[in-house]
Amino acid sequence: MSIVRRTALAAGIAAVCMLAAPAGAQLLEHKDVSYDLARTLAEGAIAACKEKGYATSAVVVDRDGETLVAMRGDKTGPHTMENARRKAYTALTFKRTTTEFAKQWNDGNPVVRAQATLPNIIPNPGGVPIKVGDDVIGGIGVSGSPGVDEDCINVSLDKAKDQLK
């Protein structure tokens, strides 16, 4: 291929690439849950439930629903890790607590009932979205206590509130 043809081809490719990018395109900036923060949140939630006399597991997922930290407390049931992971994923996905999601499921909301059939979704209380302002950056789920999982999460989130700015 001659130098003239290669130059023309390169110029054409460059022109197409410039046209493909929309005017005013920019990068998105966002915050993510760090490993240290995820570990702090999981440990804090397990400790808060332990103080109430309950053995729990905690899972923190990132904004993509991938597990960052999964911790199983002493003397927990074998189901608690998977249950906590699904709660964290559900809270992240729907940007609300799984208590709210479960209430709508229990009330027979047809949309929520259909959403609950998606993989990894569970309509059980004990999952909370992790937020910076209104931006949901992850989710945390706890499993193993009789109805106080979310309370334990909120204790942990409150202790870490300075890190969530």
Label residue 122 by pLDDT band (50, 70, 90). very high
Structural domain includes residue 3? no
Structural domain includes residue 5? no
- Six-digit token pair at 26? 């920019």
Q: pLDDT per residue over 53-105, tens digit each? A: 999 999 999 999 999 999 999 999 999 999 999 999 999 999 999 999 999 99
Region 18-33: what's the mean pLDDT? 77
For the chain, the average pLDDT equals 91
Structural domain includes residue 112? yes
pLDDT above 80: residue 146? yes
Instruction: With CA atoms as reference, report the closest residue to 32 among 164, 153, 137.
Output: 137
pLDDT of residue 25: 82
Sequence-distant (≥ 6) Cβ neighbours of residue 136 within 8 angstroms: 63, 92, 95, 129, 130
Q: Decide: 95 and 129 in contact? Cβ < 8 Å.
A: yes
Structural domain includes residue 29? no
CATH for 116:
3.30.450.150
Structural domain includes residue 17? no
Total number of domains in the chain? 1
The shares of helix, strand and coil residues in the chain, as percent rounded to the nearest 5, are 50, 15, 35
Structural domain includes residue 43? yes
Structural domain includes residue 4? no
Structural domain includes residue 121? yes
Task: Provide the domain limits for residue 131.
Answer: 35-163
